[in-house]
Structure 1
Amino acid sequence: MSNFHRFAVMLATVAAPLSAQPRELSVADSSPFRQLPLPSPNEYRGGDGRPGPRYWQQRADYRIVASLDTATHMLRGRETIHYVNNAPRALPYLWLQVEQNICAPTSIMSTLDQPPLVFGEVSFDFSCGGFTGQPSLDTATIAGAPMKRTRYGTTLRIDLPRPLAPGASVDLDFAWHFTVPEQGVGRMGRDGPLYEIAQWYPRMAVYDDVRGWNQEPYIGAGEFYLEYGDFDVTLTLPASYLVAATGELRNPEAVLTAAQRARLAAARRSDTAVAIVTRAEAGDPRRTRPGNHPYTWHFTATNVRDFAWAGAPNWIWDASGYDGILIQTLYRPTADKWPEAQKMARTTIKHFSEQWYRYPWPHATTVEGPVQGMEYPMLTFVPNLSNRQEQFWDLAHEFGHEWFPMIVGSNERLYPWMDEGFNSFIDLRNAALYFAGTAYGDTIEVNPLHLAATHTTAGQEQPLITNPTEVRDLMWTGYQKPALMLHLLRTEVLGPERFDAAFRDYIATWAFKHPTPADFFRVMRDASGMDLDWFWRDWVYTTARLDQAVDSVTAGGADRRARVWLSSRGTMIMPAELRLTFDDGTTETVRLPVQMWNLGPRFTYRAPAGRTVRRAEVDPRKVYPDMDRANDAWERR
């Protein structure tokens, strides 16, 4: 065949119609390092995980006047919500949260009768404890005219007279009253004369650039997603009552004695506890109150997403100062673990401020009472527990929520792992430092790892991204697994210095804003310099399991270097740590980056030349949740 003929045949083959060619099958990318399908960056949220040049969020300011009748447990209030539409589109209607309706006889919770969530000693009963009732919305007006409103369980839709234009604002006026239940869905209530009041006023739902209105009903396991704004609140209570609340007290001369004001001034300058109300004074209104008539307490708060308060006539009140912040603990004389609470509180606020982001508000206050642990801006509710370790953990955990979600305002009604999980992660180090040198302090940081074996049952475990109201094991999915995830990201993947800088960047970037999971992933990648899509896929979006193994060791060839044959037998990939023991008894530990799995689930490590390997072991420190330890080591017989 001539060269010309060969060339013509070749051209004919190349030019043959596609139908005559073998059809290639489309194969999906199955690499564990493939990109996550995150939302496309836009002018509101950038590809680096930071707010874009046109990022916006709504604003809601509140003015509330309320009074509590302790004889009937009746709380009455009036409020004005000043709502500013910063969105680039007009809003024909608004959505609010009216969460005391959770106790209504026709509510979702009353119908479902869900079991309590139990976390060690702490149990959250998301029922109303047999109480049935709902708030009465006495009036609801806009500019003096009745609102057109429709209630759906714990949400309220307001149809506006005319759409609220971009940049415009509207004032919503409400008057309401309800009976304070003894047990208010695990997050508010009363115990004798002590009241802890939360979710007690109509609140704006969040309208954001990601989902529009976020009006998921309040069921219990999913907590809150709220707009930031300023509060001006006055509360009238009986003469004998002291009040602690979100916000700064604006009229101390009217409601506190001269001695109490002097002690508070001294406490702000003190590193140790100063008794504002002593044990001998607690419960004696002649010594704790300036007079014998009802008092109105006036509080203001700037740039917060909620407002809660508590009142009692028999508190012991301790306080100290840290960096201009007043640290306060208020507790009943029967709370035997609370004399140390002041030290616990100050240590916690100091650690989180210095390690992650400075506490931004004028006071951090915790109140002992029936609520089993709940957080609000500047104020937390914590019970008296059985031992120092449990007491510290609960108290510090609730204060940790001042960072997540009070500062970093993620949507905890959808993503508790970004709230409870991040908080549990920072709590671990805080507890380890407080109890350093004890068995508890020296082991607390690995507690989530120890829990993994009993909470990762195939077919039962659910991904972190699961909606909290659908999670069967919220303690693991919302709290402990994300804490383990971040602990391993810090210690085994990025290293403490690299992780800490990136995590601080995330907190500072999204302080007082509304981050999504994609924003967090992108900031951590951008700030750390490592693509972590492989990590988030396994830990957040799946229930992948880790199983690293040493398959065999073979002698070296011409290069005199033994081969250690490793494999990733599970569905999760992570970096590996390999410890080699040689014939002379010496050891060598090698940290292998996650890129060892770039070409598949098998990797061959070449040992140093001239050394005979007697034993090879992966994860020798037992820091990973490896599901089969039997294949972690090889030893020459």
Structure 2
Amino acid sequence: MNMKHLARTIALTLSLSTAAHAADPFDDKFRQLDELLPTPTTTRTASGAPGHAYWQQRADYKLRATLDETKRAITGAGTVTYYNNSPDTLHYLWVQLDQNMFRGDSDNRNISTLPSRDAWQKGGADGVKFDAIRFAYESRAFDGGFKIGSVKSGDGRPLHYAVNKTMMRIDLPQPLAPGAKVSFAMEWSFNIPEASVIGRRMGFERFDKQDKNDLFEVAQWFPRMAAYYDVAGWQNKQYLGDGEFTLEFGDYDVEITVPADHIVASTGELQNAGEVLTAAQRARLKQARTAKKPVVIVTQAEAEAAEKSKATTLKTWRFKARNVRDFAFASSRKFIWDAQGMKSGDKDVLAMSYYPKEGNPLWEQYSTQAIIHTIEQYNKYSFDYPYPVAISVNGPIGGMEYPMISFNGPRPTKDKKTGEVTYSKATKYGLISVIIHEVGHNYYPMIVNSDERQWTWMDEGLNSFLQYLAENAWEENYPARRGDPRDIVDYMKSRNQTPIMTNSESVLQRGPNAYAKPATALNILRETVLGRELFDFAFKEYGRRWKFKRPTPADLFRTMEDASGTDLDWFWRGWFYTTDAVDVSVDGISEYTVSTQDPDIEKAWRRKLRDAEPASLTEQRNKGMPRRVDAHPELKDFYNEHDDFTVTNADRNKFSEQQDKLEDWEKALLTSGKHLYLVDFSNVGGLVTPLVLEIQLASGKKTIERIPAEVWRYSPKKITKLIVTDEPMVGLTQDPFWETADINVDNNAWPRKLTPSRLELFKTNRSGPDLMRDYNTPLKTKAAPANGVPETPKAAQ
């Protein structure tokens, strides 16, 4: 085949692969996101950075809270100073009353649904878990929600307010002009829900039915200013349970009054250690700041002693926190407390853990170490942790984050018979992972302050991605659950999906959709699309631009493109705006070698191909039969000695004449000995992706060829790629490292690879229910009666 003919063949093949689908509407996977993203403004620029006119509101709080341990209730009061930094005049303020979700008549309770009746009845019987029925009963009966005592202006005059479910509007007596501020005071109270029964993101834990040595994790405990910002105005969407919180930054001065024998863990720095800690505890705390390993501030022995006798007096703990968007605390006499200092940039940070004895030995070994590890790793990819403390608390909340403090659940298991305390591998790594995740939330969204009420993935997905990087840095073969592309495959090929860009309250399968899928997408963007250097620079730039500000999805998308120098609209569209999946099929391969045009070589090559063809069945059966020409050799002539592959002098003369017309580089191509392969690929899943091709050659050598996703730009469904090798190719695999989350690797290889599995054999169970047998089964009794004679069960009488 001459070079011009080869070029025409390749061009024809490529055009045919596109023309085959010319009748279909062209789906441009690489069109820009202009129709989906908001128009850039002086507040939010086209580069993804805050504009010169960027603004955000601020709210400072001075609060008091008293914990009534007996009633399991909070009474609070405080003053809010609200700063209007917007260009708008405000006539009213919106405040979040998230505790109202615990009211029996809340939307959260009223809109809850169950699986269909068909789903309930699979297996032939209706059924539901005890916990679900208990929740249904208790959530209606619990006296939850804020009871607002008063709302007053700075001069003590009552302010008109209106409660709309989980939101409260406060009407201002005078319009709040741009650049002005206003203060108002509030009083409130609420009952704390039991976390294991109806709590969510906060609550108390009951350790013993008789003893009220409870552990309290308290959040959403005061009316909090709703966010007001350029994109959404007032973010006053109702709190339905899934969409979390978006809040304004401010300074907090908080007094927390608790039983005198309680230890309090809190957002902020303790201001009155001399009033609430013993001299020994203060000395240990000082030692911990420069220690190389955790120092125990409150020992297990001290905590166990406190459990035995309850204090009848109260103590007030005072904390201050600067530039935070929320405030939470935990309180219990059961707390063991350890701490260790570390450096974050030029700042000193105190990493601290609080846990009951039920958390040991797991918590004393891993909690504070996990906090320090998290900050060290997240600093690499974001910015230096800016706060003075970072806290992990063990309690009834499985995992929840607040500024400087997180609530984390895993504990060892105590055998009820032997008293032996053990923990599983899942519990160990579950603890480390949840601490990394919840402490990591300090970065996203506690500092990079995204709107969680609208976009769950902007904090959970980004944080899960960084969690994956931190887990990999903990130890080799860490059992991470989210981030590796192979772990998202089952979800990506499932039907019950919503796009990542779905409102928080409407997301189906919240864990895979808002945590795992965006984490995996970012990992693929880092490893396969951009590479680590470009990705890490761009992602860190996003954190630098938006720390202590409120970004939107568009700001992330635009920043990543701006700082990486790469058009990624195809990536955001496919991964974030659709439910398409990666499924690339290797459909077929044609092999070519360049014709030398030398008749001695080419005719020999064609004879070799002919000889390699299998003999027909007739030829096989006729082999050895008598032939006339064998009996009469005189019948043989020139054509019995020569065939179509005989080289003639005319062939040689023609070749010589052609060679004289070629330039040196053209002659070199004819004798290059290269092997050419036309490979057909289909995009079965719909999500365009880079091609990662492992090419195996006859010598056993393997090479990797990486082809950008733009290879699909003209034909997003089918393409043909030319591959050139120095020796014959014997195998080709698309996505050999499973790095693109391809949902069907069975069609990724040429030649096709067998999938190994196991076939389990079972005996047929021919026995069915036997009412007579079951009725006459002896009744088991817990203990013999006083006379020592076991009672005869009625069924056996």
**Separation in structure 2 between the aligned mates of residue 126 and residue 91 of structure 1, nearest angstrom:** 41
Any conservation in 2 of the 1:60–1:227 contact (CA below 8 Å)? yes
- SS in structure 2 of the partner of residue 585 of structure 1: coil
1:537 alignment partner in structure 2 = 573
Does residue 433 of structure 2 align to residue 408 of structure 1?
no
CA distance in 2 between counterparts of 1:545 and 1:45 reads 31
What is the match of residue 495 of structure 1? 531
2:394 and 2:409 in contact (8 A); partners too: yes
The answer for unaligned runs of 5 or more in structure 1 is 1-26, 117-122
Task: Select which of 433, 450, 456 maps to 2:492.
Answer: 456
Correspondence for 1:145: 157
2:410 to 348, 364, 384: 384
- Mapped pair 1:353 → 2:379: yes
Alpha-carbon offset, residue 285 of structure 1: 4.4
Asked if the contact 1:553–1:562 (Cα under 8 Å) also holds between the matched residues in 2, the reply is no
The answer to whether residue 508 in structure 2 is matched with residue 472 in structure 1 is: yes
Equivalent residues in 2 for 1:157-556 (5 A)?
A: 157-183=169-195, 185-192=199-206, 193-285=214-306, 293-323=313-343, 324-336=348-360, 337-340=362-365, 341-385=367-411, 386=423, 387-436=427-476, 439=477, 441=478, 444=480, 448-457=484-493, 459-556=495-592
Residue pairs, 1:17-28, within 5 angstroms: none
Distance 1:41 1:64 in 2: 39
Q: Secondary structure of the equivalent of 1:398? A: helix
Residue 280 of structure 1 and its aligned partner are, at CA, apart by 1.5
Corresponding residue number in structure 1 for 2:18: none
CA apart distance, 1:454? 2.7
* Secondary structure of 2:300's aligned partner: coil
Find the aligned partners of 2:44 and 2:83 in 1 and give their Cα distance: 21
For 2:272 and 2:443, how far apart are their aligned partners in 1? Answer: 28
Structure 1 position 70, deviation (Å): 1.0
Answer whether contact 2:485 2:738 (CA < 8 A) is retained: no
Cα distance in structure 2, aligned partners of 1:239 and 1:565: 76
Cα shift at 1:545: 1.4
Equivalent residue letter for 1:630: D
Secondary structure of 1:299's aligned partner: strand
Distance in structure 1 (CA, Å) of the matches to 2:308 and 2:564: 56
Q: Is the 8 A contact 1:322 1:350 kept in 2?
A: no
Listed one character per residue, the Cα deviations across residues 215-247 of structure 1 (whole Å, up to 9, x for unaligned) are 011111111111111101011111111111001
Is 2:143 the partner of 1:132?
yes
In 2: Cα distance, 1:606 partner to 1:212 partner: 53
Taking a change above 3 Å as real, the CA distance of residues 369 and 362 of structure 1, as seen in their structure-2 partners, is same
**Which residue of the partner structure matches residue 614 of structure 2?**
none
Unaligned residue ranges in structure 2 (runs of 5+): 1-23, 116-130, 207-213, 412-422, 595-668, 754-797
Residue of structure 2 equivalent to 1:104: 103
Q: Which of structures 1 and 2 has the bigger CA Rg? A: 2
Query: Which digits, 9 at most, give the CA deviation of each residue in 1:408-442, with x for residues without a partner?
Result: 10011111111111111111121222232xx4x1x
Overall identity of the aligned pairs, in % = 39
TM superposition shift of 1:335:
1.1
Aligned partners of 1:105 and 1:479: how far apart in 2?
30
Q: Aligned residue for 2:690?
A: 575
Which one of the candidate residues 600, 603, 612 is aligned to 2:728? 612
Q: Which moved more, 1:299-308 or 1:458-467?
A: 458-467
Q: Give 1:287 deviation, angstroms.
A: 12
- Contact 1:45/1:519 (<8 A) preserved: yes
Measured in 2, the distance between the counterparts of 1:172 and 1:603 equals 65
C-alpha contact 1:32 1:534 (8 A) present in aligned 2: yes
State the distance in 1 between where 2:178 and 2:510 align: 39
Q: Distance in 2 between matches of 1:512 and 1:401?
A: 13
Structure number with higher helix proportion: 2
Deviation at 1:345?
Answer: 2.0
Q: Separation in 1 of the partners of 2:547 and 2:309?
A: 38
Q: For residue 554 of structure 1, report the CA deviation from its aligned partner.
A: 1.8
Q: CA 1:487–1:603 in structure 2 vs 1: closer, same or farther (change >3 Å)?
A: same
Post-superposition offset of 1:283: 3.5
The equivalent of 2:739 in structure 1 is 623
Alpha-carbon shift at residue 449 of structure 1 (Å): 3.0
Superposed counterparts of 1:22-101, under 5 Å: 30-36=27-33, 37=35, 38-101=37-100
AA matched with 1:177: S
> Is the deviation greater in 123-132 or in 623-632?
123-132
Root mean square deviation of aligned Cα? 2.4
Contact 1:320 1:328 in 2 (8 A): yes
Partner Cα separation in structure 1 for residue 94 and residue 748 of structure 2: 55
Once residues 29 and 517 of structure 1 are traced to their aligned partners in structure 2, the CA distance between those partners, rounded to angstroms, is 27
CA contact (8 A) 2:383 2:540 kept: yes
Q: CA deviation at 1:356?
A: 2.6
Question: After alignment, is 280-289 or 608-617 more displaced?
Answer: 280-289
SS in structure 1 at match of 2:303 = coil
Give, in angstroms, the shift of residue 165 of structure 1.
0.6
Over 3 Å counting, the alpha-carbon distance change for 1:458 and 1:383 in structure 2 is closer
2:702 to 584, 587, 612: 587
In 1, distance between residues paired with 2:307 and 2:200? 34
Task: Provide the secondary structure at the position in 2 that maps to 1:145.
Answer: coil
The superposition leaves residues 340-381 of structure 1 with CA deviations (integer Å, 9 ceiling, x where unpaired) of 222222222222223432111000011111111110000011
Give TM-score, length-normalised by structure 1.
0.90
Paired residue total: 600
Q: In the alignment, residue 265 of structure 2 is paired with which amino acid? A: A
1:635 and 2:755 equivalent?
A: no
Matched AA of 1:242 = I
Code of the aligned partner of 1:624: T
Give the C-alpha shift of residue 169 in structure 1: 0.8
The one-letter code sitting in structure 1 at the alignment partner of 2:724 is P
Q: Distance in 1 between matches of 2:738 and 2:380?
A: 30
